[in-house]
């Protein structure tokens, strides 16, 4: 069974770039008769907010995109929240060998990518003092477990994809490096992960200042645009123009068109 997921991080409002990712993912799932799961990545308990979790459900309902997994905020909190799985992620990381503790602060590291200063220091994890990093020079030793005693995005998202059995990834190109880091982690773990033939990374929308929306804190919520049928149709038209070069009024009609994204390989 082919499986993909929509996996938003509820740390801020969802802007059009996020909505486009939802549509691309649902489109691919429809064309490939794949299972489409919703997985809300709320591991960062300091930044995750219920209002942003509710926005995900609202956006998917308004677009009439059907997903497997949590159905509403209450259901999510009770059964699916990543915060319920924190000890599980920790246990998985205990089994992972290629890691080391690092006590460098952001100031110590400066603007350069991290160079592996703590590689030989044999630090173990100590809350608010050290983080755990992946011993991988190519990607500048990504953090696996954060000082705040929570899994990093790279680690939790990898474990979640492995356990869900995700076969295909559809992500914005800002997450392309994450996909490759996760593939390296999986290789170290000795497990099969999604290969580049099954990864799609789409280009990102830019705002009027030419900034990538995903990086822009100023990007405003797209939810108001989805609430009225007229502006919702405009969003779908704008998306189809962006993705295909033609304006289409409904997702139903759009999903009949050939899928435009190419895989990474």
Q: How far is the CB of 149 from Zn ion (least distance, A)?
A: 17
Instruction: Mark 232-259 as b/e (b = at least 16 C-beta within 10 Å).
Output: beebbbbbbeebeeeebeebeebbeeeb
The nearest distance, CB 125 to Zn ion, in angstroms, is 13
What's the min distance (Å) between Cβ of 127 and Zn ion?
Answer: 16
Of residues 97 and 105, the one with the C-beta less far from Zn ion: 105
Which of 107, 262 has the CB closer to Zn ion?
A: 107
Q: How far is the CB of 141 from Zn ion (least distance, A)?
A: 8
φ and ψ at residue 45, rounded to 5 degrees? -65, -20
Angle of helix 86-94 versus helix 153-164 axis, rounded to 10: 90
DSSP characters over 105-116: -HHHHTTSPP--
| Interface residue list for Zn ion (CB under 5 A) | 102, 104, 117-118
Q: Which is nearer to Zn ion, 106 or 262 (CB)?
A: 106
CB of residue 109 vs Zn ion: minimum separation in angstroms? 7
Nearer to Zn ion, 109 or 186 (CB): 109
């Amino acid at each position: 069974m082919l499986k993909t997921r929509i996996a938003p991080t509820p740390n801020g409002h969802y802007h059009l770039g996020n909505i486009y990712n939802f549509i691309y993912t649902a489109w691919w799932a429809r064309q490939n008769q794949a299972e489409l799961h919703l997985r809300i990545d709320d591991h960062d308990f300091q930044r995750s907010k219920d209002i942003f979790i509710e926005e995900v459900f609202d956006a998917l309902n308004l677009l009439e995109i059907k997903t497997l997994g949590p159905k509403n905020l209450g259901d999510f909190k009770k059964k699916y929240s990543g915060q319920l799985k924190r000890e599980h992620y920790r246990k998985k990381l205990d089994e992972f060998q290629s890691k080391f503790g690092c006590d460098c602060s952001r100031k110590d590291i400066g603007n350069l990518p991290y160079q592996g200063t703590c590689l030989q220091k044999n630090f173990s994890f100590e809350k608010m003092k050290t983080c755990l990093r992946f011993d991988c020079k190519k990607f500048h030793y990504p953090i696996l477990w954060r000082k705040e005693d929570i899994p990093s995005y790279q680690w939790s998202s990898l474990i979640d994809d492995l356990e869900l059995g995700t076969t295909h990834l559809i992500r914005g190109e800002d997450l392309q490096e994450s996909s490759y880091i996760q593939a390296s982690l999986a290789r170290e773990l000795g497990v099969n992960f999604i290969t580049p033939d099954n990864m799609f990374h789409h280009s990102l929308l830019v705002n009027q200042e030419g900034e990538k929306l995903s990086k822009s804190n100023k990007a405003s919520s797209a939810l108001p645009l989805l609430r009225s049928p007229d502006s919702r149709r405009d969003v779908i038209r704008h998306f189809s123009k962006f993705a295909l070069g033609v304006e289409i009024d409904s997702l139903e009609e759009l999903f009949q068109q050939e899928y435009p994204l190419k895989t990474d390989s």
